[in-house]
Amino acid sequence: MNDTRPPFEEAPAIKRFSMHVRHGFFGSMGGVSNGVYKSLNCGPGSGDEPERVSENRRRVCAALGATTDRLASPRQIHSSRAVATDRAFAPNERPECDALVTRTPGLVLGVLAADCAPIVLCDPHNGVIAAIHAGWRGAVGGVIESAVEVMTAMGADPGKTAAGVGPCLSQSSFEVGPDLVDAVLNATPWAEPLFQAGMGDRQFFDLKRYCLGRLTRLGVAHMDALADDTLTQPDMYFSHRRAVKAGDRDCGRNMTAIVLVA
């Protein structure tokens, strides 16, 4: 397997601090997997061949100047739980959570998504970073708040923190039913403008602006969201929703990673 480094996107709000932190929103390009996992599938919980997933994760780490023995990646459960760590995890030791926080230079925090919102945060002044997997359940449940709370406990200042929301479902691709609408509005009535009417009882939800709204209410100073839409960009990103529509048995996972410069 060659040493090709996969392409990735960056959030402008965090890229401006590149002397202190590296990060990347990786998609489906630049890996070694085949079939529905083509090609940079980084999901160890998928049905892909484990050695191919390991190589893909190695390539992600290499693109950020790191190695996989410095990769901390959780077992994601669509929760609101955030965990602080100063070390990488063995595959059977991964904590069940949806956000990781560290102040350890050189430790890569990595989360997976395939339509949910990946979010990275950094306070470059106090040397604290976080990576979040924010599906709508986690976002409504408070995973963003949990991550910022752990960051603050480790010395971060929300007023000096930058955040980037990565590729996920855009509003026009996120058609939802009444149950999701009710869950969002019961928890956060201010989110009503983030829905657009569809056919019948269907609506379209703006997950990106929802995440930005919750970050704003936490006092996070700088933030932006990438325009990329995982559903409608099949050559660039894995999408669970697209795989279901196509009748595929599974799909790959996009990795998002962030690391403090050692």
Q: Compute the distance between CA of residue 191 and CA of residue 216 in angstroms, rounded to an integer.
A: 13
Neighbours of 197 (CB within 10 A): 9
In this prediction, residues 103-110 reach a mean pLDDT of 98
In this prediction, residues 164-193 reach a mean pLDDT of 98
Report the percent of the chain where pLDDT is more than 70.
99
The partner residues of 164 in beta bridges, in order of sequence, read 120, 224
Q: Compute the distance between CA of residue 40 and CA of residue 33 in angstroms, rounded to an integer.
A: 6
Residue 245: half-sphere exposure toward Cβ, Cα within 13 Å:
10
Give this prediction's pTM. Answer: 0.97
One-letter amino acid at 56 equals N
| pLDDT classification of 136: cutoffs 50, 70, 90 | very high
The pLDDT of residue 4 is 77
In this prediction, residues 67-75 reach a mean pLDDT of 97
- Report phi then psi at 223, rounded to 5: -160, 155
The pLDDT of residue 1 is 44
Report the percent of the chain where pLDDT is more than 90.
96
One-letter amino acid at 169 equals L
Q: What is the mean pLDDT of the chain?
A: 97
The pLDDT of residue 55 is 97
Q: What are the Cα distances from residue 143, in Å, to 81, 105, 168, 216?
A: 6, 23, 16, 14
Is 60 exceeded by the pLDDT of residue 138?
yes
The pLDDT of residue 3 is 56
Is 90 exceeded by the pLDDT of residue 2?
no
Q: What are the Cα distances from residue 60, in Å, to 164, 247, 251?
A: 18, 28, 18
Q: What are the Cα distances from residue 51, in Å, to 25, 31, 161?
A: 22, 12, 37
In this prediction, residues 212-229 reach a mean pLDDT of 97
The class (CATH top level) of 10-17+72-244 is alpha beta
Residue 183: half-sphere exposure toward Cβ, Cα within 13 Å:
13
pLDDT in tens, 86-95: 999 988 899 9
